[in-house]
Amino acid sequence: MGPPGAGKGTQAEFIAAHLAVPKISTGDIFRANVSQGTPLGVEAKRYMDAGNLVPDEVTINMVRDRLAEPDAGDGFLLDGFPRTVPQASALDKLLADLGTALDLVMELVVDDDEVIRRLSGRRTCRGCGKIWHVEFDPTSKENICDRCGSELFQRDDDKAETIANRLVEYADKTAPLVDFYGAQGKLVGIDATGPVEDVTVRAIDALR
C-alpha cells in the first residue's frame, strides 16, 4: 500500500520477480477491462475517471476470481488492493477460506509533493505495461518503451484535478489500513524516497 504515485507498481514488479510470484494489480486489471470495453470496465471507468475508488463489492469479486486462477496457488503479491477496511476484512475471510493468510503488508511512505511530481511525469507502456517517468526514469527515445519498443501513454487519471481527489480518497479510505494491519502485526513501513533500486533493497530486506 501507499498513496497514488508512491511507487507501488514499480516496486511490485521487482519484488514479484524476486519472489517468483504473480503480481496482482487491481488498477492494471481495471485498466485492461476498460480498454477491452468489458461490462466491468464500463462500470469501473466512471469511478476511475473521477479519481474515486471503484465500489468494494465489484473490486472484491474481481480479486476473488483472480485469486482462484492457478498461478496464484503458490503465493502472490497484491498491488493496490485492499484499499478500504471492508476490502481488507473481505480479503482476510477469502484467504482464510483458501487456508492461507497474508504474510506481510508494506506501506511505501513518501510525502505529497513527491507524489505529485511522480504522478505528473508518469508514463506507461501500451505494450508491456512497464512504468516510466519523463524525468526520473526516462526512455532513450521519447515516448517509446526501451524494453519492448511500444508507445507510451499518460494515464487519464494522472491529471492535476483527479490527482487531488485520489489523495483525498487515500487519506479517507486507505490510510486507516495502517492501523488495521498494524494491529495484526503485519505492517512494515518502507521509506520510498530516493532511487528506485534503493527502495527495492529496503523492500526486499523487509521480507526477511
Q: Which of the residues are catalytic?
A: 8, 83, 122, 155, 166
Of 21, 43, 47, 102, the one binding ligand ADP (CB under 6 A) is 47
CA nearest neighbour of 133 among 31, 2, 25, 10: 10
Q: How far apart are CA 9 and CA 80, in angstroms?
A: 8
β partners of residue 152: 125
Q: How far is the CB of 143 from ligand ADP (least distance, A)?
A: 13
Q: Is the Cβ of residue 80 or residue 107 nearer to ligand ADP in the bound state?
A: 80
Among left, alpha and beta (phi > 0; psi -120 to 50; other), residue 190 is beta
User: Peptide bond preceding 82: is omega within 30 degrees of 0, i.e. cis?
Assistant: yes
83 binds ligand ADP (CB under 6 A): yes
Residues 39, 88, 7, CA angle at the centre, nearest 5°?
Answer: 80
Tell me which residues in 92-151 interact with ligand ADP (CB under 6 A). Answer: 118, 121-122, 131-133, 136-137
199 binds ligand ADP (CB under 6 A): yes
Q: How far is the CB of 101 from ligand ADP (least distance, A)?
A: 18
5 binds ligand ADP (CB under 6 A): yes
166 binds ligand ADP (CB under 6 A): yes
β partners of residue 144: 141, 151
Quickly tell me which residue has 513501513 as its cell.
Answer: 189
Of 1, 26, 34, 90, the one binding ligand ADP (CB under 6 A) is 26
